[in-house]
Amino acid sequence: MRLVQANLGRNVSEAEFLRNFDALLERGGRRAVYALQEIDEADAPEEMDLIQQRVRLTHHVIGDHTAVPILVPHHLALFSVHLEPACKGLAKFTPNRVVTEAVIQLGKHFAPAVLNTHLPRLPVGVTDEIREQLEERRRDVRQALRTRAKEHHAGVWLADTNTHRGWPTIVRGEKTVTDAGIDKAKAWAPERRRVIVTDRWTLNLTIDGHNAHGARVVWPKAA
């Protein structure tokens, strides 16, 4: 499975969004699974509409009413999809958060899950009360991610963690796919399989200080 993670930011123009998204599609290719974050968050352009226009012939859009959609290429078989409420919003600080899930059939008896989410940020200088409310919501999102991961023997989670240090393990035995500051992705496998990650790459974006990251993840049977 080819995986791409990209936070496409907020407060950007339509032209800037499309420049970055088109560059992402060119680098990742039509056969990649894309986990996107911050779609239609505090933006004037209708980013989801633009995404759907660009990929309508190549990808299914899972979570098209969320800020964390997953784009699954048509050549891969979708086994199931799910949206898990992760935390309630907090006015002026964070919207409601969800975990978007797509389970993809890669073999006759093998269907790993792709989980995508985004944690609330902890701004500097907030009151202790606001900080505690945001910390509680961050714990809620991590727990929602764990809860969904436990439902699947294999998979990969991707997140804008808004966490530079102290990020906890989500799934026992998970292996790093990407770990670029606050943007993280980890994959896990059942007992009789293992995770192999190859072909990592980074694409410079001009949005919100994030870059895009890609890799190839496979779950071969253990020797």
The arithmetic mean of pLDDT across residues 189-216, rounded, is: 94
Give the model's pLDDT for residue 223.
Answer: 76
CA distance to 1, 65, 83, 115, per residue, from 41 (Å): 28, 11, 18, 19
pLDDT in tens, 135-176: 999 999 999 999 999 999 999 999 999 998 889 999 999 999
Asked if the model's pLDDT at residue 42 lies above 80, the reply is no
Instruction: Band the pLDDT of 209: cuts 50, 70, 90.
Output: confident
Q: How far apart are CA 126 and CA 111, in angstroms?
A: 43
Task: Select the more confidently predicted residue: 216 or 42.
Answer: 216
206: which residues sit within 8 A by CB, 6+ positions away?
Answer: 16, 19, 20
The arithmetic mean of pLDDT across residues 32-36, rounded, is: 98
Question: Do 67 and 35 touch, CB atoms closer than 8 A?
Answer: no
Asked if the model's pLDDT at residue 211 lies above 90, the reply is yes
In this structure, of 41-45, 94-98, 150-154, 163-167, the range with the lowest mean pLDDT score is 41-45
Instruction: Band the pLDDT of 44: cuts 50, 70, 90.
Output: low
Task: Select the more confidently predicted residue: 165 or 104.
Answer: 104
Instruction: Band the pLDDT of 12: cuts 50, 70, 90.
Output: confident
Whole-model pTM?
0.96
Q: How far apart are CA 171 and CA 48, in angstroms?
A: 30
Asked if the model's pLDDT at residue 71 lies above 90, the reply is yes
Give the model's pLDDT for residue 87.
Answer: 97
Q: Can you list the domains of the chain with their CATH numbers?
A: 2-218 (3.60.10.10)
Q: How far apart are CA 84 and CA 26, in angstroms?
A: 30
Mean pLDDT, all residues of the chain: 95
Give the model's pLDDT for residue 143.
Answer: 98
Quick check: helix, strand or coil at residue 146?
A: helix
